[in-house]
Structure 1
Amino acid sequence: MLIGFSVPQFGPFADPHSSAALCRDLEALGCHSLWVADRLLSPLTPPVGYAGGTMPVRYGTHLDPLLALCMAASATERVRLGSSTLNALWQPPLVLARALTTLDLISRGRLDAGLGLGWMREEYEATGVPWQGRGARLEETLDVLEAVWRSPTVAHAGPLWTIAESTVLPGPVQRPGPPVLLGGFTAAALERVGRRAEGWLSASMPLPYFRDLWSVAVEAAERAGRDPGGLRRVFRVNPEVTTVEAAPEEIHRRGTVRQICDHLRSMCGAGGDEVLVDLQLTTDSPDRLLELAAEFMAELD
């Protein structure tokens, strides 16, 4: 099992200088990876489709994910650096490809491009991107990324974007490009993972739900002639860490460090599976964040 943590970027951690220091400290703990998240808005009234009541206040204060990754890349030397998840549709795919290529170069080939569709209509409205047709828009975005990364000469003619035959250099360090992992929790999202992604950006969840979703990706990979055993899985958990044991039905999201880790172990079925622990919602203290990170490392190692 591989162990990753979130790049500190929200609420009281939204300071690039202290975040860079925390990234260095997290790398020193021996973790495998560091990941940014993507949040553009925190509406004052519950957004459409949000089932959790009021959004956490700290989501209203955030660092840009791509710039935060650049900061993390400069502050570290070894860890993989990823996005879980970057909302892929808020900028043209050629612009996204340039940014991700630059990050791969800055990090010397340590980038994992984790992409998703997001879930908040209000953020789509704010960026002027249509809510309808998101799946098709992501498919063409992936087409453009592949075209840019696979050849120095790029040409694309699709329903949404046209790129005249052009030279687009430099290319990324990783070939044929940074690994693309996709998020999502619908049948369509998992079908896309199995058909064309390097892996799935998942989350800690009840096991029956997880197994049903993963079976969709496995079947899609097999239909596409791909080996489902080669797909990566990254399980994000935003835990509420408690000092007393939580009820069994809650341990996918809250409980003691041991309870949460036991559940993550039950989800990880292969040596290449990875857990991503985001500690920004359970503490406001950099020192406590590092203490908890060390506890999770000791428990999961």
Structure 2
Amino acid sequence: MKVGITLPNVGPQATVENISYIARRAEHEGFDSLWTIRRILWPIEPQTPYLVTSDGSLPKEYQYVLDALDVLAYVSAITNNISLGTHVEDMFFFTPIILAKRFVTLDVLSNGRIISGLGIGWSKDEYQASNIPFNNRAERADEFIFIMKKIWTDNVVNHKGKYYTIPPSRIDPKPIQNNIRVYLGGAAPGTFARIRKFGLSGWIGALVGGWEYVEKIIEGIRLSNDNGNKDHNKFQVIMVTFPNIIDNQSSSSNNERAPFTGTIDQIGEDINRLKTMGVEHIVFNYNFVPIGKDPLKVIEVSKELARFTK
């Protein structure tokens, strides 16, 4: 199982010093990947409730956000080998050509280390601020991904579709990778169909619900791939987790505790559970728990948890 860490590009911990420390230490310690988060605003009165919180409000950490792709560009310059990804980049805040070019630029600057985690978003406020209609998102996503892949692979790009148009053009450079790895976030059936349709690298999820919910999604993905005759050797599941270390958590409450909340050993059991579910790449995100404010603690706890991934 590969192991990644989400960089502190949100909240009060989003400083150059913290980002630099975690990026350099993560690579030195042998972690596989570093990730960033996309948010463009924190609505005072959200039109779309945030499903993770009881009152529908976004975490206060989202009030202060450094741009996900710009942070990766900075980190690419201070690291050499570790992979760099987005979980996830909301594609519609860009046009296909601009986002494709930004990922290619990152891939060239990092010498082929970019992982593109993409989603279609959920916040009506962010759509409104981006001047993008909230309806027909699935259809728009299909066209968006189709264009991006053409830009990354075709010598001449020519597209006239329902939502986007590109006149016959040379759009270079191409990625250092043969094709940038693309993972889609989201839990709708259309997401999994889109992964199959475009031959994408896999699915990137977030462990924010109970185990039953996550297991059902992953089981559905595997079944969907079986029906689509997709090459299982190329398809991967990446899971973003939110470790919340509670040193005095009683083992007797193991069946009732939230996933990835508890002692190091209890969270280790959760990691093993993800392994049995077929998760190939786990990402530790500490931006919304107390540990996230201490970059030294982030690295040390990640090292302790990483031993359960072997």
User: How far apart in 1 are the matches of 2:50 and 2:277?
Assistant: 32
Contact 1:280 1:289 (8 Å CA) reproduced = no
User: How far apart in 2 are the matches of 1:78 and 1:118?
Assistant: 30
**1:169 is matched with which residue?**
172
1:192 aligns with 2:194: yes
Give the unaligned 5+ runs of structure 2.
none
Deviation of 1:247 after TM superposition, in Å, equals 4.5
Deviations along 1:242-294, whole A, 9 cap, x unmatched? 11226424332422222223112212248870100001222212222222222
**1:80 is matched with which residue?**
83
1:174/1:272 CA distance change after superposition, 3 Å? farther
Contact 2:10 2:37 (8 Å CA) reproduced = no
Query: Is 12-21 or 137-146 further displaced after alignment?
Result: 12-21
User: How far apart in 2 are the matches of 1:269 and 1:165?
Assistant: 48
**1:49 is matched with which residue?**
49
Give the unaligned 5+ runs of structure 1.
none
Contact 1:3 1:31 (8 Å CA) reproduced = yes
TM-score (norm 2): 0.90
Matches within 5 A, 1:244-255: 244-245=248-249, 247-255=254-262
Deviations along 1:36-68, whole A, 9 cap, x unmatched? 111111223455232303422111111100001
1:243/1:265 CA distance change after superposition, 3 Å? same
1:31 aligns with 2:40: no
1:55/1:41 CA distance change after superposition, 3 Å? same
Query: Is 215-224 or 164-173 further displaced after alignment?
Result: 215-224
**1:206 is matched with which residue?**
210
1:75/1:6 CA distance change after superposition, 3 Å? same
Aligned length in residues: 300
Contact 1:3 1:297 (8 Å CA) reproduced = yes
1:75/1:168 CA distance change after superposition, 3 Å? same
1:291 aligns with 2:300: yes
1:230 alignment partner, SS class: coil
**1:300 is matched with which residue?**
309
1:271/1:252 CA distance change after superposition, 3 Å? closer
User: How far apart in 2 are the matches of 1:262 and 1:195?
Assistant: 35
**1:160 is matched with which residue?**
163
Contact 1:70 1:106 (8 Å CA) reproduced = yes
**2:2 is matched with which residue?**
2
Matches within 5 A, 1:57-76: 57-76=60-79
1:229/1:207 CA distance change after superposition, 3 Å? farther
TM-score (norm 1): 0.92
Deviation of 1:90 after TM superposition, in Å, equals 0.7
1:155/1:271 CA distance change after superposition, 3 Å? same
1:298 alignment partner, SS class: helix
Query: Is 103-112 or 267-276 further displaced after alignment?
Result: 267-276
Deviation of 1:105 after TM superposition, in Å, equals 0.3
User: How far apart in 2 are the matches of 1:247 and 1:44?
Assistant: 37
